[in-house]
Homo-oligomer: A and B are copies of this chain.
Amino acid sequence: METIKYLLDEANMPTAWYNLAADFTEPLPPVLHPGTGQPIGPDDLAPLFGMELIKQEVSTERWIEIPDEVNQILRQWRCTPLYRARRLEKALDTPAKIYYKYEGVSPSGSHKPNTAVPQAYYKMKEGVKKISTETGAGQWGSSLALACQFFGLECLVYMVKVSFNQKPYRRAMMETFGARCIASPSDTTQSGRAILADDPDCSGSLGIAISEAVEVAAQNEDTKYCLGSVLNHVLLHQTVIGLEAQKQLEMAGDYPDVIVGCTGGGSNFAGIAFPYMGEMIRDGKKIRIVAVEPAACPTLTKGPLKYDFGDTGHLTPLVKMNTLGSSFVPPGFHSGGLRYHGMAPMVSHAMKLGLFEATSYNQLETFAAGVQFAKAEGIIPAPEANHAVVGAIREAERCKEEGTEKTILFNLCGHGHFDMQAYIDYNAGKLIDYEYPDEEVAMALAGLPSFGNQ
């Protein structure tokens, strides 16, 4: 039999998260106060997030220990499998070796619990009773609902309205885990009401939902806020993906020539890529790393690196990132998890430093690749993950054209069990490609804050 699956034993499992900030050859630009334009520090951010997570947010230590209580829960589904996609290789008739790390085996079906569990854990340790957050496709919201349930915390989730309507089963999952789920924009917050006053039919965006969740946390003493992507500590927690993959590929006797991940806020991409970027910086390893994003929300490929707000209501500090403008509301395509105007500052910084390249695909092309993958490998990917799939398949096709036997590693960040309506629509020819909204983005970019962008 040919080996197709690689799993680590307990002795080889990561005991610490890897922090790429320790290896950056140039430090991350500071976070700025939106009123003064001055750098802000841990004390300004702790009221919203709690001090332990903010210490991680600003840390430049290379390794940060994973608490036992966190690992105790992560072990339920970790180590996640690294698969050699032998049937896909055959279907593509490629000389390339294709490996994928499969994060869909977590209870909520994606990589999101990797950070939901530690975030809920640290909040619980600091005496927090209630957590507010936003969710796009629902993968983050259901993961945080799960983690809050495990640690006895209340959970309030603002879900982007287009996904709230597309995905009642994700809502049911959150509610089964005991969370409360509200469609965003909603009339429960000032930021939500302001958006609705302007556009009562607004389909929502991650930027708007973040404003609502942040507002609730800022106004209630017993509530703190959690974010499912973008922030440094979130990306940190996701590095278990890449740390495991490094040892699993070692078991397979391989090393990646190309790594592919999809990017929305940047967390699953960082999870698989950052530990390898560390090796590139420290040991001079040569890997081509490719971020794949939706053509309808092309943050890395078309957004400039600027200071901008993380949310639409402009309640957050300013961070330097590739952005399409925080007032831009992406079209309602099916990869809800990738509908974000900005990009994680650490990912943006890594691109500036030349550590990876970015590319974009239209919706229909990503679904075609997803169906091709499902037929070969038996796993139906989440629409977000289809961006990584199409990226990996194009790389394998290039290997065939060039006759090169490269090793391709990609992150299959979640399954599509809660996204089958998108596949029904795709199979029925009802999905469309969205035009990149040049004018809307130009307007949104024109409204960027002045601080940091002179």
List the interface of chain A (C-beta within 8 A of B).
1-2, 4-5, 7, 68, 71-72, 75-76, 83, 87, 105, 107-109, 146, 149-150, 168-169, 172-173, 175-178, 371, 374-375, 377-380, 417-418, 420-421, 423-424, 427
- A-B complex: 10 closest residue pairs judged by Cβ atoms: A169-B420, A107-B378, A417-B417, A172-B420, A172-B424, A1-B72, A172-B423, A146-B378, A176-B374, A107-B379
- Which residues of chain B are within 8 angstroms of A146 by Cβ–Cβ distance? 378
Known contacts A375-B178, A420-B173; A1 and B107 CB within 8 A of each other: no
Give the docked Cα–Cα distance between A185 and B71 (Å): 50
Tell me whether A83 and B76 are in contact in the complex, defined as CB-CB below 8 angstroms, given that A150-B378, A168-B424 are known contacts. yes
Q: Which residues of B contact A150 (CB under 8 A)?
A: 87, 378
Given contacts A169-B417, A420-B169, contact A71 B1 (CB under 8 A): yes
- Known contacts A71-B1, A177-B374, A378-B150; is A172 also within 8 Å of B427 by CB? yes
Closest to A169 in B: B420
Q: A177 contacts which chain B residues (CB < 8 A)? A: 374-375, 378
Give A75 to B2 CA distance when docked, in angstroms: 10
Q: Determine how close the nearest CB of chain B comes to the CB of A281; give it in whole angstroms.
A: 32
User: What's the nearest-Cβ distance from chain B to residue A100, in Å?
Assistant: 12
Let me know if B5 and A75 touch, CB within 8 A.
yes
Q: A72-B1, A75-B1 are in contact. Are A109 and B417 (CB under 8 A)?
A: yes
Minimum distance in angstroms from A75 CB to a CB of chain B = 6
Cβ distance A218 to chain B, nearest Cβ, rounded Å: 29
Q: Give the nearest-CB partner of A117 in chain B.
A: B378
Closest-by-CB residue of B relative to A87 is: B150
Q: How far is the CB of A350 from chain B (nearest CB, A)?
A: 32
Closest to A7 in B: B7
Across the interface, A105 reaches (CB within 8 A) one of B4, B105, B424, namely B105
CA–CA, A421 to B76, complex, Å?
26
A420 close to B1 (CB less than 8 A): no
Additional A-B contacts beyond A149-B378, A169-B421, A172-B424 (15; CB < 8 A): A1-B68, A76-B83, A107-B379, A108-B378, A109-B417, A172-B420, A172-B421, A172-B423, A172-B427, A173-B420, A176-B371, A176-B375, A176-B380, A176-B423, A176-B427
A427 CA to B171 CA, complexed, in Å: 12
Give min CB distance, A402 to chain B, whole Å. 29
Q: How far is the CA of A283 from the CA of B427 in the complex (A)?
A: 54
A377: chain B residues at CB < 8 Å are 107
Cα distance A177–B76 when bound, in Å? 29
Instruction: Determine the chain B residues whose CB is within 8 A of the CB of A371 once the complex forms.
Output: 176
A-B contact pairs, 17 of them (CB 8 A): A1-B68, A4-B75, A76-B378, A146-B378, A149-B378, A150-B378, A169-B420, A172-B420, A172-B421, A172-B423, A172-B427, A173-B380, A173-B420, A176-B375, A177-B374, A417-B417, A418-B420
Q: Which residues does chain B contribute within 8 Å of A417, judged by CB atoms?
A: 109, 169, 417-418
CB-based nearest B residue for A147: B378
Asked if A427 and B175 sit within 8 Å, CB to CB, the answer is: yes
Shortest distance from the beta carbon of A280 to any chain B beta carbon, whole Å: 31
Contact flag A76-B427 (CB < 8 Å), given A374-B177, A375-B177, A380-B173: no
* A420→B378 contact, CB < 8 A: no
Q: Which residue of B lies closest to A427 (CB)?
A: B175
In the complex, the answer to whether B168 meets A420 with C-beta atoms within 8 Å is: yes
Shortest distance in angstroms between A45's beta carbon and chain B's nearest beta carbon?
30
Asked whether, in the complex, the Cβ of A2 is within 8 Å of the Cβ of B72, the reply is yes
Whole-angstrom distance from the CB of A50 to the nearest CB of chain B? 23
In the assembled complex, the CB of A354 is this many whole angstroms from the nearest CB of chain B, namely 37
Q: Cα distance A177–B423 when bound, in Å?
A: 11
Q: How many Å lie between the Cα of A150 and that of B76 in the bound state?
A: 29
A378: chain B residues at CB < 8 Å are: 76, 107-108, 146, 149-150, 177
Q: Which residues of B contact A375 (CB under 8 A)?
A: 149, 176-178
For the complex, give the distance between the alpha carbons of A108 and B375 in Å. 12
A337 to chain B, nearest CB (A): 17
Q: How far, in angstroms, from A168 to B423 measured CA to CA in the complex?
A: 11
Give the residues in chain B near A427, CB-CB below 8 Å: 172, 175-176
Report how far A109 CA is from B169 CA in the complex, Å: 16
A109 to chain B: closest residue by CB: B417
